A = this chain, B = another copy of it.
Amino acid sequence: MASPSHPDIERVLWTEDDILGRVAELASQISLDFEGGSPPLVVVGVATGAFLFLADIVKRISLPLRVDFVRVESYGSGTESNGAPRISSDLKLDVEGSRVLVVEDIVDTGHTLSALIAHLRSKGAVSVSVCTFLDKPARRKVRLELVGEGKFYRGFECPDCFVVGYGMDFNELYRNLPYVGVLKPKLYS
């Protein structure tokens, strides 16, 4: 295990190399699964947390694709989800008739993702797939229903602790750490 180089980080869960390796695997799989077909795949990143994962993964997907962002607000400034998601910043692109791949940083309760999938369905996406960097299946409260021939991809299964880095924040900080770690508890308790 790499020693954390940041004084606020208790331990590192995935290093930059761990992450890039997994990103490459996911991107290869996605490139195979979505090969061919028209119109091009639309990759939708969920701002802000997924921005690093989205960037790294699309560079490795060897298909024509379009990119867009949405913002879904549900987390407060602490560590617990308040469970009431709303699309605070919508798509710019028209996804009618398109296959969509949602790129998330983390799925835990599933509330946010569920709301977003429903939104994309209502916008006419023919399929909605999900690629989440981290998955906390133990925290799932909502059963996720993908659309059409949608697929679910995940980077890593995440232990039930509060992680930061690689896009994920605590009070908007730590997003720029190139690795994922656990915050020292004194910082959020």
**Which A residues fall within an 8 A CB radius of B?**
16, 40, 43, 45, 47-48, 51-52, 54-56, 58-61, 64-69, 71, 73, 88-89, 92-93, 169, 172-178
Min C-beta distance of A24 to chain B, whole Å? 12
Copies in the complex: 2
What would 12 more interface pairs be, CB under 8 Å, given A59-B177, A67-B176, A71-B89? A16-B59, A43-B176, A45-B51, A47-B92, A48-B92, A51-B54, A55-B56, A65-B173, A65-B176, A67-B172, A67-B175, A69-B71
Q: Chain A's interface: helix, strand, loop or mixed, by majority?
A: mixed
Whether the pair B51, A175 counts as a contact (CB closer than 8 A) is no
Whether the pair A48, B65 counts as a contact (CB closer than 8 A) is no
Whether the pair A58, B176 counts as a contact (CB closer than 8 A) is yes
CB contacts (< 8 Å) of A65 on chain B: these are 173, 175-176
Whether the pair B48, A59 counts as a contact (CB closer than 8 A) is no
Q: A92-B71, A92-B88, A175-B67 are in contact. Are A52 and B59 (CB under 8 A)?
A: yes
Whether the pair B48, A51 counts as a contact (CB closer than 8 A) is no
Q: Which residue of B lies closest to A173 (CB)?
A: B64
Q: Bound state CA distance, A89 and B73, in angstroms?
A: 14
Whether the pair B64, A48 counts as a contact (CB closer than 8 A) is no
Min C-beta distance of A154 to chain B, whole Å? 20
Whether the pair B93, A58 counts as a contact (CB closer than 8 A) is no
Can you sample 28 A-B contacts with CB below 8 Å? Answer: A16-B59, A40-B173, A43-B176, A45-B51, A47-B69, A48-B67, A48-B68, A51-B51, A51-B54, A51-B67, A52-B55, A52-B59, A55-B56, A58-B175, A59-B176, A59-B178, A61-B176, A64-B174, A65-B175, A66-B169, A66-B172, A66-B175, A67-B169, A71-B89, A73-B92, A89-B89, A89-B92, A93-B172
